[in-house]
Amino acid sequence: MPPSKTSYVCLPCRASYKQPYDRERTDRVCPRCAEALVHVGSAFAAPRRRNTAAWRTLSVLLNAGVRFHAGCSDGPGYRPRTLREVKERMAYAERSGEPFAESLLRRELPQ
């Protein structure tokens, strides 16, 4: 059985690559710019390269530590898709004191 593949992302190039997952090999580099690739998980679907707003949103999620690993049967769960949703969750995190990464994963914000 071939090894399973997972997604890696280069934020400066706005590119996504599927590569076999290897626990010992953690230092992946982008073939275009030689920057470090970010391991995002097997349930990741990359936005189009020209969609700068989606890549900005993705950058915020990845820098907050949010990844796209598939669960047993439910997938990666909710992830914000627009900067507006990210800003709403950032404001909620500040008001409530909840960690930013946790507030990003909430489907609905409490009133």
Domain presence at residue 111: no
* 36, 28 contact by CB (below 8 A): yes
Domain presence at residue 9: yes
Domain presence at residue 93: yes
Domain that residue 10 falls in:
5-104
Domain presence at residue 88: yes
Domain presence at residue 73: yes
Average pLDDT, the chain: 88
How confident is residue 2, by pLDDT bands cut at 50, 70 and 90?
A: low
- The pLDDT, as a whole number, for residue 76 is 65
Helices (H), 15-99: 52-63, 83-96
Domain presence at residue 109: no
Domain presence at residue 99: yes
* 98, 87 contact by CB (below 8 A): no
Predicted model pTM: 0.82
Token pair, residue 111, equals 């009133």
How confident is residue 79, by pLDDT bands cut at 50, 70 and 90?
A: confident
The total number of structural domains that make up the chain: 1
Domain presence at residue 110: no
Which residues are within 8 A (CB) of 76 and not within 5 positions of it... i.e. 6 or more apart?
41, 43, 44, 67, 68, 69, 70
